[in-house]
Amino acid sequence: MDNINNVIEFRNVVKDYGDFRLDNISFSVPEGSVCGFIGQNGAGKTTAISLLLDLINRDSGEIYLFGEPVDGKHSHLRENVGVVFDEMGFHEFLTAKQINVILKNSYKNWDEETFFDNLKKFSLPSNKPCGAFSRGMRMKLQIAAALSHSAKLLVMDEPTSGLDPIVRNEIMQIFREFEMQENHTILLSSHITGDLEKIADEVVFIDGGKIVLKGNKDDILEKHALLKCSNEDAAKISASVVVYAQPGAYGTEMLVNDAEACRRLYPGMVIEPSTLEEIMIYYVNRAKSGLL
């Protein structure tokens, strides 16, 4: 592998279902970073994660995890990966105590003491069937398990979806604490971009099975901006910097991809910082309009 500091690397990966295609995607996640994997529902995030975890087979391309190929022959790699899915992976009749017994026989590095410490930390009962847990408690149970076998990488698919802001904030704090430990990496798939703006270092934006944007989060936010002007002035803006424009009765709002150049070229116009959510929405709208 070219860069041993990349914990995850996708190289020209294709998965074709017929009605949906993960189309030649390439991206990497550096060691010690939090990578926000963003996109609307159905964009291809879960398919990519399933390929990474070797749950499904790709049609072509290469995937590397900790510098080793994901090819069905390196099952030991899973020892270093903690996984949290949108839906709980434990049978609803199981208690946390029973889950502990199962996972103790599944992971060589399983730490029973850490698991029960995590249950206390997250205020989770050990004798109650997890099917009776709230959605937030179910997520915390998965996270408690993911953090109890010395994982170096957390892979999470929509872990905060459907949770109230208080529980989401608690979970994001757990992720921060994990990432602050040496050489810990997080791939966090979500369409809730506000959460990712708080903790992500890197961003990979996927839409319709294709990578639209990737790179350092701060760089992406710095390069993009919302430009607001009259409909008449909108025609003066160079098409090369416009991602997508939305004209309205009282003017046009557009996402531009070179904020610095726009501030220099159009000093009289309103140019405001954009959020990850706004960037995602404008690129999706552009794709729907057939401009991509």
pLDDT computed for residue 87 by the predictor = 75
149 and 254 in a single domain? The answer is: no
98 and 154 in a single domain? The answer is: yes
162 and 265 in a single domain? The answer is: no
On whether residue 31 sits in a domain, the answer given is: yes
Paired sense of beta strands 202-207 and 210-216, if any = antiparallel
Instruction: Evaluate if residue 123 carries a pLDDT over 60.
Output: yes
Among the candidates 199, 216, 233, a domain finishes at 216
Q: What is the pLDDT of residues 22-58, one digit of tens each?
A: 999 999 999 999 999 999 888 999 999 999 999 999 9
Q: What is the pLDDT of residues 198-246, one digit of tens each?
A: 899 999 999 999 999 999 999 999 999 999 999 999 999 999 999 999 9
pLDDT computed for residue 292 by the predictor = 58
Q: How large is the average pLDDT for residues 257-277?
A: 95
In the block, tokens 């704090």 appear at: 173
249 and 112 in a single domain? The answer is: no
Distance CA 260, CA 270 (A): 13
On whether residue 148 sits in a domain, the answer given is: yes
In sequence order, the 6+-apart residues with CB closer than 8 A to the CB of 198 are 172
Q: How large is the average pLDDT for residues 245-257?
A: 95
On whether residue 284 sits in a domain, the answer given is: no
On whether residue 287 sits in a domain, the answer given is: no
On whether residue 234 sits in a domain, the answer given is: yes
Instruction: Evaluate if residue 265 carries a pLDDT over 80.
Output: yes
Tell me the CATH number at 58. Answer: 3.40.50.300
Give me 173's structure tokens.
Answer: 């704090």
* Predicted TM-score (pTM) of this structure: 0.89
Instruction: Evaluate if residue 290 carries a pLDDT over 80.
Output: no
In sequence order, the 6+-apart residues with CB closer than 8 A to the CB of 58 are 13, 14, 15, 22, 51
- Residue 10 region, left (φ>0) first, then alpha (ψ -120 to 50), else beta? beta
In sequence order, the 6+-apart residues with CB closer than 8 A to the CB of 33 are 179, 185, 186, 201, 202
pLDDT computed for residue 1 by the predictor = 41
Quick one: DSSP state of residue 57? -
On whether residue 33 sits in a domain, the answer given is: yes
**210, 286 Cβ separation under 8 angstroms:** no
261 and 202 in a single domain? The answer is: no
Q: Using alpha carbons only, give the angle 256, 27, 3 rounded to the nearest 5 degrees.
A: 125
Distance CA 157, CA 167 (A): 16
Instruction: Evaluate if residue 291 carries a pLDDT over 80.
Output: no
pLDDT computed for residue 289 by the predictor = 86
On whether residue 177 sits in a domain, the answer given is: yes
**222, 199 Cβ separation under 8 angstroms:** no
How many structural domains comprise the chain? Answer: 2
35 and 90 in a single domain? The answer is: yes
pLDDT computed for residue 236 by the predictor = 92
φ and ψ at residue 230, rounded to 5 degrees: -70, 160
Q: What is the pLDDT of residues 85-113, one digit of tens each?
A: 877 778 999 999 999 999 999 899 999 99
- Residue 209 region, left (φ>0) first, then alpha (ψ -120 to 50), else beta? left
pLDDT computed for residue 246 by the predictor = 94
Give me 248's structure tokens.
Answer: 């309205």
Q: How large is the average pLDDT for residues 157-172?
A: 83
Instruction: Evaluate if residue 273 carries a pLDDT over 60.
Output: yes
Beta bridge partners of 271: 227
203 and 249 in a single domain? The answer is: no
- Residue 77 region, left (φ>0) first, then alpha (ψ -120 to 50), else beta? alpha
On whether residue 1 sits in a domain, the answer given is: no
- State the chain's maximal CA–CA distance in angstroms: 68
Give me 35's structure tokens.
Answer: 């990578």
Distance CA 167, CA 233 (A): 45
229 and 202 in a single domain? The answer is: no
Structural domain for 245, as ranges = 225-273
149 and 257 in a single domain? The answer is: no
42 and 23 in a single domain? The answer is: yes
pLDDT computed for residue 49 by the predictor = 95
189 and 239 in a single domain? The answer is: no
42 and 176 in a single domain? The answer is: yes
Give me 201's structure tokens.
Answer: 């270092």
Among the candidates 172, 190, 216, a domain finishes at 216
CB atoms within 10 A of CB 13: 23
